[in-house]
Structure 1
Amino acid sequence: MDIVIWIASGLLALVFLLAGAMKIARTKEQLAASGMGWTENFSGGWVKLIGAAEVLGAVGVLVGGLVPVLAWAAPAASFGLAVIMVGAIVTHARRKEWSMIAINAILLALALFVAIARLAS
């Protein structure tokens, strides 16, 4: 089971590290032009904050699994990423972007799986 948890944790961290880094590195306009129309509903600062939260969550998922003293960080970061996905689902539902909701729901489930598995181990 530990291998499954690590694969899920690595996948979760990779997705959020890349997504968050993109939100930090690109402007709101560049993100909107690349298909992230939801950025039109947020200020540039909020988009950067969401990106930073995603990057920090990704780091927390990995560090919490690797450093025994920081074992609490993995479930906390995973729950935080789950909260971000709930917000994403609400945002996409308001914009009627149904295909994005499916992706967010999968990431929400993955984040909850990692959080619960890390708490149980």
Structure 2
Amino acid sequence: MAEQTTRRQQEGQEEMKIDGRLANGNYLVSMTQEEIANVAGYNSGYSIPSNLHEDGRVNGPLVLGTEFRVTKAFHQNRELFGQEKKVRDAAGMLRTLADMMEAAGPSEIIPPANEAPAESA
């Protein structure tokens, strides 16, 4: 099969192409190794384990018939993105607490939660 590059690929923008539909309803697609890595949950083609490459070299040609758990990777990424608001809220709260502690300065002593402050005479 002759490889053709599209304008987007030449500009560095990869593009998956649907080439056909199989009798079982699955699709036959053309993808770069980088695109396969991304949909499978890897950072890049270099992140795909070497045992999935024909020659055992990282970023070498992938073994035909290799299966990736794309749905699992999608759900893991979705879960991580769903936690973003919680992380940002917690970071904001910590910033506010740090600002309060800095404003109090070293002259104010904040007793630990389990100790009562010493009473002055």
With the length of structure 1 as denominator, give the TM-score of the two structures.
0.23
User: Whose Rg is larger?
Assistant: 2
More helix by share: 1
More strand by share: 2
With the length of structure 2 as denominator, give the TM-score of the two structures.
0.23
